[in-house]
Structure 1
């Protein structure tokens, strides 16, 4: 069990509370339903500041007041879950805005090159790029997974987002010696993702439409990926993966 001081610091940092808000909140946690004047005394908050402080905590969804001006905390399981869900919705809305802005700006580019090679640094950026490609590509993408399997639990939130973006199915080539848990297999089947065991998996990559992403471990960024947008290269790699899947099915 973490110490109370450490928990207070985490609450302050994660919920962005000021010192008065933090003191008032933990005073109510400790003492239960209380009047503002009692909260001010216990938390050592100037009486002229306590009302604004309590109003702010109400606005954050952490406490509530009754008709007799008594304040108490909302069940932390409920209030913190509500805040977390609000953040998820806010993040998704922000992501949608950014995506729409990208499409708008893309239409303003005077001359676009169809071919592109670039380096992507970091796990989140690599997954984000892959998800964007899946949304823009109507065909079934091919994946080869290698090192990702070793960090399946750690990377699962990002992997789930990627799987959730797949609407038309996919092919995933993975190491022959790996046995996936039933919960993963069920989700993959729901998304019409065909899992193909192979003895020759050697890197993490994705190919779909005219694009390829190849991911490799990096000491500086955990993962460094190469993004290649080239129809000839993508088709050649896709053909090799198709041959590989046929070989492993036979």
Structure 2
């Protein structure tokens, strides 16, 4: 139990960017409940001259509250951490939009346009991030073939849902014939107009949309290595193959 608590303390300290005094004061309040600053300082090994700055910082971060700076107590953790998480998401979305706008601006002033492009992407998050970008810029109904991704569906679902929710006109989702997937994943996919097809022809992780093809392959070092191919003829050929698979369904 002690080791688990220490891991949680370190995780909170790292994630919320708390210093040593802030972390100690927060966990002291968790243990003692409503307390005076002097008691918090004593039980947290914090110099008395520092305690008010520490408590003020925790209050500003939305972790604790006070009445007249006489007594301090924690805000209900599930609510306070949820609020912090939502704020982080909002900040991340703003930053993401800023980055997208910069990319669009730079694209507008670029004199050399690459028509056909092949590039390699290393890593799961990097692959999904690139996929989201291509999905956003594609107005047709794309094809997804899902194979090895299913082995880590539970862990990857939040990222995969980003792709699902980004599609503009739904998508075709091809799964292995014997795939067993939780009902909630099926329902969420169908809510976004995903047509689910099970086939024995599924053998890799693949995205085909507009002129872009993304092929994902497992890697011992990077988990995933993906090849992105921007070539209209190649993309159309794969779409034709996908349609053949779907028509046999």
TM range (shorter): over 0.9
Q: If the length of structure 1 is used for normalisation, what is the TM-score?
A: 0.94
| Aligned counterpart, 1:216 | 217
| Aligned counterpart, 2:19 | 18
**Range with bigger deviation, 165-174 or 182-191:** 182-191
Return closer, same or farther for 1:245/1:4 CA change in 2, 3 Å cut-off: closer
Unaligned runs of 5+ in 1: none
| Aligned counterpart, 2:59 | 58
1:93-127 deviations in Å (ceiling 9; x for gaps): 21111111111111121111111000011111111
Return closer, same or farther for 1:139/1:3 CA change in 2, 3 Å cut-off: closer
| Aligned counterpart, 2:186 | 185
The separation in 1 between residues aligned to 2:10 and 2:198, in whole angstroms, is 47
Return closer, same or farther for 1:97/1:39 CA change in 2, 3 Å cut-off: same
| Aligned counterpart, 2:196 | 195
The separation in 2 between residues aligned to 1:22 and 1:159, in whole angstroms, is 34
**Range with bigger deviation, 192-201 or 11-20:** 11-20
SS in 1 for 2:226: strand
Cα drift, residue 69 of structure 1: 2.1
Cα drift, residue 91 of structure 1: 1.4
The separation in 2 between residues aligned to 1:9 and 1:185, in whole angstroms, is 36
Cα drift, residue 68 of structure 1: 5.7
The separation in 2 between residues aligned to 1:3 and 1:168, in whole angstroms, is 45
| Aligned counterpart, 2:121 | 120
**Range with bigger deviation, 183-192 or 206-215:** 183-192
Cα drift, residue 19 of structure 1: 1.4
| Aligned counterpart, 2:226 | 225
Return closer, same or farther for 1:245/1:31 CA change in 2, 3 Å cut-off: same
The separation in 1 between residues aligned to 2:93 and 2:199, in whole angstroms, is 36
The 5 Å alignment of 1:131-170 reads 131-170=132-171
| Aligned counterpart, 1:30 | 31
1:118-159 deviations in Å (ceiling 9; x for gaps): 001111111111111111000000111111122221211111
The separation in 2 between residues aligned to 1:9 and 1:144, in whole angstroms, is 39
The separation in 2 between residues aligned to 1:98 and 1:51, in whole angstroms, is 38
Unaligned runs of 5+ in 2: none
